[in-house]
Amino acid sequence: MIFTSVHPPKPSFGPSSGYPPAAELPEAIAELKRQRRAVILAHYYQEGAIQDIADFIGDSLELSRQAAGTDAEVIVFCGVHFMAETAKILSPGKTVLIPDLEAGCSLADACPADAFAAFRAEHPDHIAVSYINCSAAVKAQSDLICTSSNAVALVRQLPADRPILFGPDQNLGRWVQSQSGRELTLWPGSCIVHETFSEQALLQLKLEHPQAEVLAHPECQQQLLDLADFIGSTSALLRRSGTSPAPSFIVLTEPGILHQMRLQVPGKTFFEVPGADGCSCNACPYMRLNTLEKVWHCLETLSPAIELEEQLRLKALAPIQKMLAMSV
């Protein structure tokens, strides 16, 4: 994996520094987007203000595929770095920008490529299934990529006589194991957001709002999934909030999704679950590094840009293509 090595200087945004005032940023971004022939992608976990200026809002793979299908020359991926890498894997001829190069991912970062290679070497007869929330270098070592929405269906299709490695999220892996009936050897990784929800706070919310349906992402720990009424990917949780007859929802995933839930079903009520420390702030700190100012700045400077060596890109593309073929 190769990133551009030089960060643009951190600007003091405002009229005196030559950057648009906050109130003018959406319009200024739209004009730069037009000039650059760019498309802006926003993951569901981004701040509402970023979602509001995006061309596409969704989960990471869905966004990368949508961008690949456009004639845009530039992709601005408002998410974290493995998502921007995936966009580059699928769109090698486009310039892929990320507003803040420091927007990493605790899950992806906890699965270094060299350590994953050693893990594979310890289990040479296993099929390696990797959750898309991993680096391009880990994807390149995988036999199959999955998402939280298709992992169970894909694992069920794998040969019954072949053992399976699953990484990097052990909580998702345990859920896939329980739903698929296949035994998985799990990489011991997890997402800091989904690991820190408070079970006590969830029980209290259920007591206070008995009509509320509990929606949970499968990256959550098992004791929280046991209390959920519906488990699914972020997109699935959003759809469920619209189709369920429940008047309110307790949502166990990153709270950025609440912006879309409230926009799409304004007549319903949504509650986020605080962390184990009692703080109602389970926002992903990496996702929150992206701001409207940084979106403007990356379009202005066309940096930071994601670059991948072609050999690595092709190796990372192969298990993604296999996933797509198996998902037809």
Domain ranges of the chain: 2-104+286-308, 107-192, 197-272
51 has a pLDDT exceeding 80: yes
Answer whether 291's CB lies under 8 Å from 98's CB.
no
Instruction: Write down the pLDDT at residue 13.
Output: 43
Which tens digit of pLDDT belongs to each residue from 118-176? Answer: 999 999 999 999 999 999 999 999 999 999 999 999 999 999 999 999 999 999 999 99
Does domain 197-272 correspond to CATH entry 3.40.50.10710?
no
**CB neighbourhood size of 40 (10 A):** 25
pLDDT value of position 279: 67
Interior/surface letters 218-251, b for 16+ CB within 10 angstroms, e for the rest = bbbbeebbeebebbbbbbbbbebbeebebebbbb
Q: Are 106 and 70 in contact (CB under 8 A)?
A: no
pTM of the model: 0.92
Give the right CATH number for 107-192 from 3.30.70.2740, 3.40.50.300, 3.40.50.10800, 3.60.21.10: 3.40.50.10800
Bridge pairing between strands 95-97 and 74-78? parallel
Residue 322 clears pLDDT 70, i.e. is over it: yes
pLDDT band for position 9 (cuts 50, 70, 90): very low
Q: List, in order, residues 6 or more apart from 176 with CB less than 8 Å away.
A: 151, 152, 155, 166, 182, 184, 218
Across the range 29-46, mean pLDDT stands at: 98
The architecture of the domain spanning 2-104+286-308 is: 3-Layer(aba) Sandwich (3.40)
Q: What is the mean pLDDT of residues 207-219?
A: 98
